[in-house]
Amino acid sequence: MKPVNDTEHWDVIIVGGGIMGCSAAYYMSRAGLRVLLFERDTPGSAQSGRNLGFVRQQARDFREVPLAMGAIRLWQDLERDLDRKLGWYQGGNIVLALSEDDIAQQFAWQKEAQGYGLDTQILSAAQVAGKLPGLAPGSNVLGAMFTASDGRAEPAQATRAFLDAAVEHGAEVILGQRVSKLETAAGAITGVRCAGRLYRAKTVICAAGAKSAALLRSLGIVLPQEIIRATVAKTEPLVVPFPHCVSCPMTGIRQAADGSLHLSVAGGEYDVRMDSVRYARWYMKVRKEQPEASRINYLSPLRGILSRGAPPPLADIPPTSDCVPPNPTRIEQALTETTDFFPAFSNLRVRASWAGYIDTLPDMIPAIGPVSTTGGLLVATGFSGHGFGLGPMVGRVLSQLIQGKQPGADISQFSPERFG
């Protein structure tokens, strides 16, 4: 990479080297735009390199389904387009149903999904057993929702692949530097401030994951963004293929490209911080309705001091400066549920574990698109725990918007200004 000269002028500056920022950098630089991307740590060091790697359309809010379907179309050709391995495998996604209520909800979802042309099916218990031969006979599974066109990919590898391909198309990148401010004049973006310097562009994309709300706040944009610390465990390699991504009631299971199983329990720890007070009113309803989704950790402000910073880096997970330790209780929960449903996995040992901060918005759908009060500013954040699979399509849509083209999916429901 050549050194970046801050006296220049870019077409687009992107803040954040997660999957959103990196895929946007790729599609924009491929379209001939001059792009500069800032990443405060390493590419994929936050959520994008730490997630479970499900790439799914099913069980989403219907407002996201067109984006998710567009993303799958891109994922299918992405290894060829980027000329890199991404661990992409289109083995389908299975959500187990354990009650008549689950089945009824899955049927209702599938019926609506048919209107979008999605290939979701509802499987009988016998069909589930056929697809998952290791399923415990006494597991009380009544059926499942199954979407064959869903898939999986390697999170860190895919994020890095987008960035490397963007650089090949001419994108410039500054790593290890935090953007401290989005700069404006007369109601329009002029660039970003980093280490005291102004980097100029008429268009800036804020794709800073959990740090987006703080950057946008200084421009008067309200984004009640919260964070949940979610844990992932990686087992030793499984000798047989486990082709489908599976959601048990609480645990997601994916086989990684190296054969290991990656396990993650839904929800996680809610680490109290300054913004907890600022945004409390937005989350009262969801906390009341889903108390099990996150456990409040009042001691989190002390953790950074007591633990002396971030956990040690793991070989295949990009390092972060966040203090984000995995929770051993969640690992136990994930292992217990996995072996309850798949007894043959009871001998698998956990080789590694890590955590990541999921950024959420109160309505659990993202903020994507322009901000009317600040010309030239676009936002892509708040993916609420399911943005990895959408990443390629979000980058493409941002690129289309910036070129004045019709976006390839409807994003009208995702306005970053919907919180007032």
323 in contact with ligand FAD (CB under 6 A)? no
Residue 83, Cα to own-chain centre: how many angstroms?
Answer: 22
Minimum distance, C-beta of residue 126 to ligand FAD, in the bound complex (Å): 28
Which of 282, 388, 344, 383 has the alpha carbon at shortest distance from 135?
344
**Contact at 8 Å (CB) between 72 and 391?**
no
45 in contact with ligand FAD (CB under 6 A)? yes
Cα angle value 351/356/357 (rounded, 5°): 160
Identity of the residue, 327 or 381, whose beta carbon is nearer to ligand FAD in the bound complex: 381
* Residues in contact with ligand FAD, shown as a per-residue x/- string from 203 to 232 under the rule CB under 6 A: ----xxxxx---x--------------x-x
* Residues in contact with ligand FAD, shown as a per-residue x/- string from 387 to 406 under the rule CB under 6 A: xxx-----------------
Stretch that binds ligand FAD, among 43-51, 70-78, 284-292, 332-340 (CB under 6 A): 43-51
Q: Cβ neighbours of residue 43 under 8 Å, at least 6 residues apart?
A: 17, 18, 22, 49, 159, 160, 163, 175, 318
Stretch that binds ligand FAD, among 33-41, 87-95, 100-108, 336-344 (CB under 6 A): 33-41
Minimum distance, C-beta of residue 97 to ligand FAD, in the bound complex (Å): 20
Q: Are strands 245-247 and 93-97 parallel, antiparallel or unpaired?
A: parallel
Which of 270, 383, 414, 419 lies at the binding interface for ligand FAD (CB under 6 A)? 383
Cα separation, 214 vs 180, whole angstroms: 10
Identity of the residue, 144 or 230, whose beta carbon is nearer to ligand FAD in the bound complex: 230
Cα separation, 289 vs 292, whole angstroms: 9
**Contact at 8 Å (CB) between 22 and 43?**
yes
48 in contact with ligand FAD (CB under 6 A)? yes
Residue nearest to ligand FAD (CB): 18
Amino acid at 75: W
Per CB under 6 A, residues contacting ligand FAD are 15-21, 38-41, 45-48, 50-54, 178-179, 207-211, 215, 230, 232, 264, 356, 358, 381, 383, 385-389
